[in-house]
Structure 1
Amino acid sequence: MHQRGDLQDNPWGICRTWVMNVKQGPDKQLMVRLAGLILVGLVMAVIFSSGYEDRARKRGEPTGQDDGFRIVELPAAPDEGIANVYDARSSIAAAIAPSQAGTGESRPLWAGGQGGSDVPEPLPQGAKAAETCSCGDLHRLWLEEPRMVGEHVQDLQEGLTVSGHYAGPADGVFGPGTDRAVRAFQTSAGLPDNGIVDMAVWMALGRICEPIVAASLKPSGDIIEASPDPGYGPGQAVWRAVLIDTSNLTVTLLENGKPVNQYRVGVGKPSTPTPLGYFKVTDKAAWAGGFGTRWMGLDVPWGKYGIHGTNKPWTVGQRKSGGCVRMLNRDVERLYSIVEVGTPVIITAGHFGALGSTRPRIEPGAKGSYVYAIQLRLAKLGYKHAGVDGVYGPATERAIMQLQRDKGLPVTGIVDMQTYQALGMSVMD
C-alpha cells in the first residue's frame, strides 16, 4: 500500500489507485469508472504527445515532417486571371522562403515530391484549379535536408544538362551536385548565385535552352512536308484546322485541307494523357509563366487543356506534360498569330482514327477521350440519354448495359472488346 506522502509526489500513482478503487465499487458506479478510464487515456495521450514534440525539438527537426518531404505554407490562392500573375508569383515566392514559411493565412504544400499539391501557375482566364493541367507548375527548389525529390527536380536537372551546367544523373534528387550546377548557371546568367531556383531561374533557363533545343529537334520518320501550293488564291476564304498527332509528337496547321506548317510538340504522360478527339479553340491569351508566352484553350468537356508554350523547352518532343500540348515559345507564337477562336483541333494517336489502335477496357468511374468517343457513338446509335461529357457516370453505364442487352452480350456495364465491336468502334471499323 502506498503511503500518503508517496502518492502526493506521484500524481500517476494517485490516478491509478483511484481507478483501481473505483473498479472495486458497486455496479451503480459504472459511469464513474468509465469516466476515470477516459481520464487516464487523455493523460497518457498528453504525456506521449509532449514527449514526441520534445524529442523532435531536441533533434532540431520540424514537427509534422513525414516521408522525406518538407512541409511549408502558402497564402490563400490568388484570384484567377492574368492580371494576378506577378502579384501571385511574389506572394508564393515569399511564402515558401525558408525564413517565412508558415506565416499568414495558409494551406499546406509539399515542396519537392511527386505526390502532393503543387505551387500553382496562375490559371488561364476562366479556368478552375481542379480542371487545369499541371503544365504551368514552376516549383521553387533549393538544397536542404531532407533532400527535395521528384519530377520537378528532374526537370531542372535536364534543363541544366541542356544548358551545359550539369553532368550528373537526372535522378530527381536535389543534391550538392545539382546545387553547384544551379549556382554556376545563376552566375553565367547574371543572377544572384544563392542556389535557389525561383521564377527568374526557370525563365532564364528556358530562354537559354530554347534555341539549343530547337536546333536539336529532328522530324519523325512520317512527318508531313508543308505544301508549297496553299491551294487558294488572293482574296479567297481560307478554312484552317489544327491536326495534332500524339504518336509522332507533331502539330500541323492545315489550310483548306493542306499542311502549311508543322512543329514538334510535347504531350501528356501515360498517367495524364493528352485528350484525343475533335475539339475547337475556345480562348486565347498571351502572358509569361510556366505556360510559356501563349495559350490556346480547348473545349475538352472533362477538364481544362490547351496548346501552349513552355519555359521547359527541353520537354518538347517528350511525353511529360499534364495533358496539354507543349510547344517551343517561338513556335506557339507563330501558330497563335494565325489560329483564331473557333478553329477546329483534331488530336489523334496515329493513323487509325482519333483513338489510334488501342481499345482499353473502360469501367464506370473512368473519364477521358475513350469515354467521350463511346458517348458520341452511343448518341449516334440512339442511346442519347448517355450524355456526352467524357465522364463514365450512371447514365452512360445504363446506356452501355442497354446496348449489351440489345446485342445479346453479357450485361456488365463494362466496355470490353465485344462491346467496342457492338458500338462499331473496333480498330478496323
Structure 2
Amino acid sequence: MKKNDSQSVFFGKKILIGVTGSIAAYKIPELVRLFVKNGAEVKIILSNDACSFVSPLVLSTLSKNKVISDFVTEDKMEWHNHVELGLWADVFLIAPATANTLSKMATGLCDNILLATFLSCTCPIFCSPAMDRDMYLNRANSKNLSLLKKRNIYIFNVDEGELASGLHGLGRMKDVNSLFLEMANFFLQSLPLFEKKILITAGPTYEQIDPVRFIGNFSSGKMGCELAKQAANLGASVDLILGPSSESLSHPRITIFNIQTAQQMFKACESKFIDCDIAFFASAVSDFKPSSIKKEKINTKSIIIETEPNIDIVKTLSSDKISQFIVGFALETQNEESNAVKKMKNKNMDLIILNSLRDNQSGFGFDTNKITIIDNDLNIKKYPLMKKSEVAKVILDEVLFHKSEIHQSNAL
C-alpha cells in the first residue's frame, strides 16, 4: 500500500514513537516503515539508552524526520519543544517501554525529553512493555502497569517466548505486525462510520432484448464507486451492488456484488437492506425491460419491442424501512428540483442528490459532478463542479450531519 493510498486508516495520521533502552528497540525500524508506507507521518524520540540499541540514522531515514534524543540539538543551537511534540501527535506510542521508563511514568518523574513529552501529551498514549520475565512479573512493575491503566494509558500485553537473558517466559515486546494491527484497529474505531453497514448501488442495469442487444444507459458507476471508497475510508463495511461497469476497486471493507439486470440488483439489495444503516441508491436502473427475450438474434431492419416496467427498487425497499437512512439520486433534464423532491417524497428517502444534464462535465461518464442536495425539510444546498471523489465526501458529510441530528432529536 503506497503512502498516498487513502484507503489506509493511517493515511494522514501523526504518530509519535518513544523508544527506550531495550534490546527490543531493534524491531522499531520495521514498525516505522509500516506506518510510513501506509500514509502516516512519524516522528521519533529516543532515550539516551535507546541509542545503544537502534541507530538514530536508520530511524530518521525511515521516518523522513529528525530523531530527537535530548532537549537541545548536539550543537546546542536548537531547542526541541516537548509540548509542541505532544500537541502535534494523534497518538504517542512508547515501544519498547522498559520497566525503568514505566516506573517513571507512573510516579511522574521527568528526567528526559521522552518523559517530558509524555507528561505534556494530550493525545491517546500506548505502551508496549519489554523486559525480562522476573522484572515483568515483579509486584512493583505490576503495580506501575495497573496505575498507568487507571490513568487511561493503553498497555499492550507482552508476548511469551525466548528472552535476551536466555530465559523463556513473559516479557517480550509485542511483535511488530501485532502492534501495527492494534494501532490500525484503534484508528479504525475512531472513524465516524466504524461498524456501520452501508449499502450502495452503482452503475447501469442492462435488460436483454436478444442474445446481442440490450436496453441500458450511459451510467459508468463512477459516483457510486467513489461513495463506496469514501465510506469504507470512514470505517464502514460496504456492500456495493455494481451493474456492468469498467470501474475497478479493491478495499478490505468493500464487498462487491456484480449484477446485470434490475431484478438481479433488487435481489442483491433485498438481503442487504434489512441490516444496513445507510443506503445509497446511486445506480441508473433501467425503467423498462422487454416483455420477452428473443432466443435468436433479431435480423429485421426495424424492431418493435414490447416493454414492461421494471421493479422500483428504492420504493419497494423503502416500504419496509425501519431505521435505515436512505439517500437517492435523481438525474433530471427539466423542472429538476421539483421532480427531485417528488421522487424523494414518493420513495420515502431522507436525502436526494440531484444532477442535471444541463451542467457541462457533470453526470454520466465524467470524473466530475455538480450536485444539489435536498432533504425532507426542503433545505437545498447547491455545490460547484467538483471531482466525484470530492462529491462523495460532501455527500457523506451531509449524511453524517443529518444522522447526528436524528440521534439528538431521539435523545430529547
Q: Same fold (TM over 0.5)?
A: no
Structure having the larger proportion of residues in strand: 2
Query: Given the two structures, how large is their TM-score scaled by the length of structure 1?
Result: 0.24
Q: Which has the larger radius of gyration?
A: 1
Query: Given the two structures, how large is their TM-score scaled by the length of structure 2?
Result: 0.24
